[in-house]
Amino acid sequence: MSSSYLQMNVVEFCQCTKLPQAWLIEIVEEGILEPGGADPEQWLFDMQAVAVARRALRLRQDLELEWAGIALALQLLDQLEQLREENRQLRSRLSRFEAEEQD
Amino acid sequence: MEFKDYYKVLGVEPGADDAAIKTAYRKLARKYHPDVSKEKDAEQQFKEVAEAYEVLKTAEKRAEYDELRQYAQQGRPFEPPPGWQPQSQGGFEGNFGQSGQDFSEFFESIFGNASHAHRGHAHGRSHGRRGQDVEMEFPLLLEETLQEQAKQVALQIPQYSADGQPLPVLNKTLNVKIPAGTGDGERIRLKGQGVPGIGGAPNGDLYLIIRLVPHPLFDVEAHNLILTVPLAPWEAALGCKVTVPTLSGKINLTIPANTQSGQRLRIKSKGLINKLGGQGDLYALFRIVIPAQADAATRELWTQLADKAAFDPRSEWSKSR
């Protein structure tokens, strides 16, 4: 899901997320963020990316993880979130089909 | 103020070595970190754990804490000894991004105020401090995703004076445009509408996180919608015309004869729209319902049907045996 109608360049993105630029490059290399564009001068980030970067930063500080571990954690958390959402939707659909239990 | 037993918070013995403290912290952090955990009160729990680790991980702070711990008495309110001065200052730099930043009153009474120390440092460099970003969930009805919406957002923003003291909250009403096709979990950034900056530094931003409100009739499946349509047995058997709701008004639907429960009918381009201008479909999902009660005449008709229709609904079972 992207919100391409509002984007930031590298400078603004680093300011906004308080992420040192060297770390940003590491994060992109690890595939945690995919800003598009060949080199950092052309990178553009959307609002989703701000949330991802902040989350990655918190995980690094608080759980003392390496970027590779963070990338894996974020991917699994994303999958978990998708499954939870799918589960919620299926339950909602099921509830429309199931009648009240009878004695 | 109550004395906090940081060893208890981490679940370690007071004599535990650094490795044991680190292991205990990491284990609890993975359990309670708000980015990872769905535990109840995860954020509060994590704050406690982070604060305990902040103190116990550095020899200097731990020694100070241990010293005070001797004075603290079970069940008695805690006061730092008269003339107590924190020794281990300057331990707060480089803490950017950390979730457990705001420490308890107890912590600050021993080690001083982390955020004040930080602010003082920023002033020393003769520039101010950018205001914090604010995140806020914003509910949106499915109907409202079909067209761009002009909405008003009312919110309260905390403010701080130049020396870091809290000021009365700022009540704001903002006009926001929410683009058509905005989906659940998407973020809209309102630049400069977060917490005001200090000392001429820029304001923080406001992020609206869109939450689609569950609809009483429609279920969402990617960009498609599902509408459960109840049918009487004779409607399903004979076919019929039914008026059904969509997100944009009612339409007439022709139900073919011999429609089964659980069968779907696709109604093209009546689903949710995406930002590229495409639109998902609406699926009518049929569910056959039986009247809760039947009078004698109706029962007689059912009986006739039962006698005449040669139908075994469980024929599958005999095949599989």
pLDDT at B192 over 60: yes
How large a percentage of chain B has pLDDT more than 70?
A: 88
pLDDT band at B118 (very low <50, low <70, confident <90, very high): very low
Q: Give the integer Cα–Cα distance in Å for A3 and B186.
A: 7
Q: Tens of pLDDT along B66-103?
A: 988 887 766 667 777 777 776 655 444 434 344 445 78
Pairing of strands B264-267, B282-288: antiparallel
Q: Give the integer Cα–Cα distance in Å for A59 and A76.
A: 14
Cβ distance of B100 and A62 shorter than 8 Å: yes
Pairing of strands B282-288, B224-231: parallel
Cβ distance of B187 and A48 shorter than 8 Å: yes
**Which chain A residue's Cα is nearest to B227?**
A93
Of A5, A63, A97, the CB nearest to B30: A63
Which residue, among A52, A62, A66, would best test binding to B if mutated, counting the most B CBs under 10 Å from its CB?
A62
pLDDT band at B115 (very low <50, low <70, confident <90, very high): very low
**Which chain A residue's Cα is nearest to B95?**
A61
Q: Does A89 touch chain B (CB under 8 A)?
A: yes
Q: Give the integer Cα–Cα distance in Å for B313 and B310.
A: 10
Mean pLDDT of chain B: 86
Helix (H, G, I), strand (E, B) or coil at B199: coil
Q: Which residues of A touch B205 (CB under 8 A)?
A: 16
How large a percentage of chain A has pLDDT more than 90?
A: 61
Q: Does B211 touch chain A (CB under 8 A)?
A: no
Cα B129 to chain centroid distance, Å, stands at 28
pTM of the model: 0.75
Mean pLDDT of B205-214: 93
Using alpha carbons, select from B98, B207, B155, B199 the residue that is nearest to residue A16: B207
Q: Does A87 touch chain B (CB under 8 A)?
A: no
| Confidence (pLDDT) at B110 | 82
Q: Tens of pLDDT along B121-141?
A: 434 444 678 888 899 999 999
| Confidence (pLDDT) at B321 | 58
Contact indicator for B177, B150 with CB cutoff of 8 Å: yes
pLDDT at B114 over 60: no
Mean pLDDT of B44-51: 93
Contact indicator for B94, A20 with CB cutoff of 8 Å: no
- Structure ipTM: 0.79
Between B209 and B163, the higher pLDDT residue: B209
Q: Which residues of B touch A77 (CB under 8 A)?
A: 35-36
| Confidence (pLDDT) at B23 | 94
Q: Tens of pLDDT along A18-46?
A: 899 999 999 999 999 999 888 888 999 98
Q: In what order do the strands lie in the sheet with B282-288?
A: B218-221, B224-231, B282-288, B264-267
| Confidence (pLDDT) at B75 | 63
φ, ψ of residue B308 in degrees (nearest 5): -90, -30
pLDDT at B119 over 70: no
**Which chain B residue's Cα is nearest to A48?**
B187
Q: Tens of pLDDT along B144-160?
A: 999 999 999 999 888 88
Q: How many CB pairs under 8 A join A and B?
A: 80
B287 to chain A, closest Cα gap in Å: 7
Of A1, A6, A50, the CB nearest to B183: A1
Contact indicator for B33, B99 with CB cutoff of 8 Å: yes
Strand partners, B177: B150
Mean pLDDT of B189-196: 91
Strands (E), chain B: 134-140, 149-160, 166-178, 187-190, 206-212, 218-221, 224-231, 240-246, 249-255, 264-267, 282-288
CB atoms within 10 A of CB A12: 13
Between A103 and B72, the higher pLDDT residue: B72
Q: Which residues of A touch B96 (CB under 8 A)?
A: 18, 57, 61
Q: Tens of pLDDT along B237-280?
A: 999 999 999 999 999 999 999 999 999 999 999 999 988 889 99
Mean pLDDT of B39-52: 91
**Which chain B residue's Cα is nearest to A73?**
B36
| Confidence (pLDDT) at A55 | 93
Q: Give the integer Cα–Cα distance in Å for B143 and B246.
A: 9
The amino acid present at B28, given as its one-letter code, is L
Between B114 and B215, the higher pLDDT residue: B215
pLDDT band at B223 (very low <50, low <70, confident <90, very high): very high
Between B30 and A38, the higher pLDDT residue: B30
Mean pLDDT of B294-314: 93
Which residue, among B54, B140, B187, would best test binding to A if mutated, counting the most A CBs under 10 Å from its CB?
B187
Cβ distance of A47 and B226 shorter than 8 Å: no
| Confidence (pLDDT) at B100 | 44
Contact indicator for B233, B240 with CB cutoff of 8 Å: no
Cβ distance of A61 and B205 shorter than 8 Å: no
